[in-house]
Amino acid sequence: MVQSLAKYKTASCFKFNYNDSLSKECNAPKDKSGVYLIYADKELIYIGRSGRKDKNGNIKHRKDGLYGRFVKGKQFGDRRTKTWPAKIKEEGIKEFSVHWFVTYDDIYKDFPDEIEYRLINEYKKQFGNIPRWNNKG
């Protein structure tokens, strides 16, 4: 699964734990769209994206790009800046790593929503379910 993301040259990761400031740890770009994978204890727990294909077949970037998806986006009913530390504490996770990949830029024109869908389906095919932090297929 991750091998299919290796072609994207603008990619990186950051680690996050209960005491971290998400806005300080996040190294994702503010002007690009792509997908991201979250790992805790070597387990893939979430597949997400920032950006999508609009009804006219064009990219619709999220304001503040991938960075904004993490720092301003919501998950588990509230902003990630609140819910991620709470979820880490609840699940007893020491820290997790967020691996992000720019899939739509001047070089690549791969829509993040289509890649996210493909990755979730690949995961489901391999493991029989979706990553535990994903709430829909």
Domain region containing 15: 2-127
Q: Given this model, what pLDDT does residue 110 score?
A: 95
The pLDDT confidence band at residue 1, using thresholds 50, 70 and 90, is low
Contacts 24+ apart (CB under 8 A), 41-46: 41/93, 41/94, 44/1, 44/123, 44/131, 45/96, 45/131, 45/132, 45/133, 46/131, 46/132, 46/133, 46/134
Domain count within the chain:
1
Q: Given this model, what pLDDT does residue 106 score?
A: 87
Please report whether residue 49 resides in a domain. Answer: yes
Please report whether residue 33 resides in a domain. Answer: yes
95-135 confidence digits (pLDDT tens): 999 999 999 998 899 999 999 999 999 999 999 999 999 97
In sequence order, what are the residues at sequence separation of 6 or more whose Cβ sits closer than 8 angstroms to the Cβ of residue 109?
59
137 pLDDT exceeds 50? Answer: no
Please report whether residue 9 resides in a domain. Answer: yes
Q: How far is CA 97 from CA 60, 90, 109, in A?
A: 26, 17, 26
